[in-house]
Amino acid sequence: MTLRIESLELRNFRNYEEAVIDGLGDITVLVGENAVGKTNLIEGIQLLTALASFRHGTIDQLVRHGENQGRAALRATDGNRQLDIELLLDGKARKYRLNGKAKRPLDLKGLIPSVVFTPDDLDLVKGSNSGRRSALDALGSQVNKSYYTVRRDYEKVVRHKNRLLKDEADPTLVEAIDEMIVTVGAQLTVYRIALFERLRPYLVEKYREISGGREELGACYVPSWEALFRKTDETASFDGPHRASSASSSPFTRDEAREALARARHERAGEERRRARALVGPHGDQILLTLDGQDASIYGSQGQQRSIVLAYKLAEAAVIEEILDQKPVLLLDDVMSELDGRRRAALVEAMEGGSQTFITTANIDYFDEAMLNRSKVVNLPLDKKGCGC
């Protein structure tokens, strides 16, 4: 059974000295003017569920100004069991506890998954590939602990290689770290492509539903070596950076990915030394989105781009449910104002599909009376006791 959050507590977290919101149900609407702390509540929930923050705040930023420690905690139940998840912000460390026992973040991955949707996500289509890669990795890290570990290890070795290249280190040292990049990078690429293949059908279908089928969304994952390596078997071919529709449709083995990555690294070794940074690997992969074959970041209208982002978030939720067999918590931070009526209706329909949902808004008029009657409405700022009961 899916775990549902019953209560949320914050102490010395962001702008909150103390906050308690309990009696949480399927939908919670957090209403208030700008700068009262709506987003801080969403961030607190995300740190306790996805174990990450879309704002990437440091501990100093998360702890209330003038305090040395902060805390966020939630209580969740599925009707049979009760879980208390706690995050302690102490000095330079984040410490998690589950039912009072210390836990690594890795131990809590996937326990209560969540999907966050913020106005900044509207740049997912027109923004850089790094943003799309990060979104895919954030999803993978929630549904697969090994994915999280491989991604973390890959980022470490790439940073190390970039330092060696910048310092003009001995080529033998660079070559040694390249062996690690090829090994870990190949595994991360295989994980990413497998995850993307789960995500893509949902993404295409959700977009078709939102757009009414007026145009076709295409999506493909293009490894960084694609322009240099040609796979000639019956399942895939690589003919250039913009003819990669089969790049993500081919289920690469780790050995195939290692071979391709090693070959591309060798081809660009001289260029990497000249530019003093790693150019080949998952950190250079592309995720391409098209509408009727045209680059959606260039030719898509603002409305079409927003429909793609909404479809992407709904697809994330579908993948989480498919893999973990539970619906994720939906965290919607002030996005209703960014969507028109048709797209808001699609989002409301998703909310009514069974996922526990937290929404922030400055305008309660975006929601009809029937929905508000089913929701817990919390007006911000909270009272002097920090209570949103």
387 DSSP assignment: B
Q: What is the pTM of this model?
A: 0.90
Note whether residue 304 is domain-resident.
Answer: no
Q: Rg (Cα) of the chain, in Å, rounded? A: 22
CATH of the domain at 211: 1.20.1050.90
Note whether residue 387 is domain-resident.
Answer: no
pLDDT for 388: 55
How many angstroms separate the CA atoms of 154 and 32, rounded? Answer: 41
Note whether residue 62 is domain-resident.
Answer: yes
Q: Are 96 and 85 in contact (CB under 8 A)?
A: yes
pLDDT for 160: 96
Q: What is the mean pLDDT of residues 198-223?
A: 95
Given a cut of 90, whether residue 19 has pLDDT beyond it is yes
Do residues 65 and 203 both lie within one domain?
Answer: no
How many angstroms separate the CA atoms of 55 and 43, rounded? Answer: 8
Residue holding tokens 């003919």?
239
Domain that holds residue 40: 4-113+327-379
pLDDT for 353: 82
Residue holding tokens 């589950």?
98
Do residues 97 and 70 both lie within one domain?
Answer: yes
The stretches of the chain forming alpha helices (DSSP H) are: 38-49, 59-62, 105-108, 129-143, 145-166, 171-211, 254-267, 269-275, 296-299, 302-324, 341-351, 369-373
pLDDT for 103: 97
At how many degrees (to 10) do helices 171-211 and 341-351 cross?
100
Q: What is the pLDDT of residues 303-329, one digit of tens each?
A: 999 999 999 999 999 999 999 999 999
Do residues 97 and 142 both lie within one domain?
Answer: no
Note whether residue 153 is domain-resident.
Answer: yes
Q: What is the pLDDT of residues 244-292, one digit of tens each?
A: 333 444 467 889 999 999 999 999 999 999 999 999 999 999 999 999 9
Q: 228 falls in which pLDDT band (50, 70, 90)?
A: low
Do residues 364 and 294 both lie within one domain?
Answer: no
Burial grade of 246 (CB within 10 A; 0-12, 13-18, 19 or more):
middle
Note whether residue 313 is domain-resident.
Answer: no
Do residues 181 and 271 both lie within one domain?
Answer: yes
Q: What is the pLDDT of residues 143-198, one digit of tens each?
A: 999 999 999 999 999 999 999 999 999 999 999 999 999 999 999 999 999 999 99
How many angstroms separate the CA atoms of 11 and 68, rounded? Answer: 11
The tokens describing 23, both together, are 């009696």
How many angstroms separate the CA atoms of 30 and 42, rounded? Answer: 9
Q: Which helix (H) or strand (E) holds 82?
A: strand 82-90
